Chain A
């Protein structure tokens, strides 16, 4: 089955700096890669996703890149703000289901 590795597990940045979270996956058949943001005690919220037919997707301050050959994808957050502090999860589909990475706790210091 699919295996998704996520790094780093924690990331601390200064407000205004950029943050990058990286994920690798094992199943070359995976073609959908979403990113979720989860604040403490709340539900994961889909913030951006990418499908295998594109290499990059942007939405304001967040962007995701995908390298299908190397089987890795990354989340980029620019101009970080304190409200970006949360746990971020990447995922990859295995058939109809999603396999999640271990999560990255992002802390943005004001």
Chain B
């Protein structure tokens, strides 16, 4: 499967600050990446689909001005949580669609965000 990295793995920030999370596809060029959010003991909730060279597509209920997504290259997508609040604390995971596989997704290791 595809190799996906995420950075940082953990981050603690103060309320009101912004945090950037990077998602990298290490072994192939990913035109599409997905960003998920996972609360403790809950399922994966799709936040947005990140498309290289164009605007991200956000799921209903996800604030695009709060969760800024940039997919400027075929190997890197970033998620910036702006003006973070404690309720934004969660596990954020990206995934890429496998090369040549239309539906398979391979996940990054996730980023645990804690907002104090």
Contact = CB atoms under 8 A, between A and B. Distances in A.
B49 interface: yes
Contacts of A42: 109-110
B12 to A, nearest CB: 16
A46 B104 contact: yes
A25 B35 CA distance: 22
Interface string A65-106: 000000000000000000000000100010011111111010
Interface string B12-50: 000000000000000000001010000001111010010
Given A42-B109, A44-B93, A100 B44 contact: yes
A98 B107 CA distance: 12
Interface in B30-88: 32, 34, 41-44, 46, 49
A36 B43 CA distance: 11
Contacts of B41: 103, 105
A43 B110 CA distance: 6
Contact of B43 (A32, A41, A101): A101
Interface string A31-59: 01010100001111110010000000000
Given A96-B102, A97-B49, A43 B107 contact: yes
A96 B103 contact: yes
B44 A96 contact: no
Contacts of A45: 107
User: Which bucket holds chain B's interface residue count?
Assistant: 20 to 34
B43 A103 contact: yes
A11 to B, nearest CB: 14
B44 A46 contact: no
B109 A32 contact: no
Interface string B90-106: 00010001000011111
Interface of A: 32, 34, 36, 41-46, 49, 89, 93, 96-103, 105
Given A43-B109, A89-B43, 8 more contacts: A43-B93, A44-B44, A44-B93, A46-B1, A100-B43, A101-B43, A103-B42, A103-B43
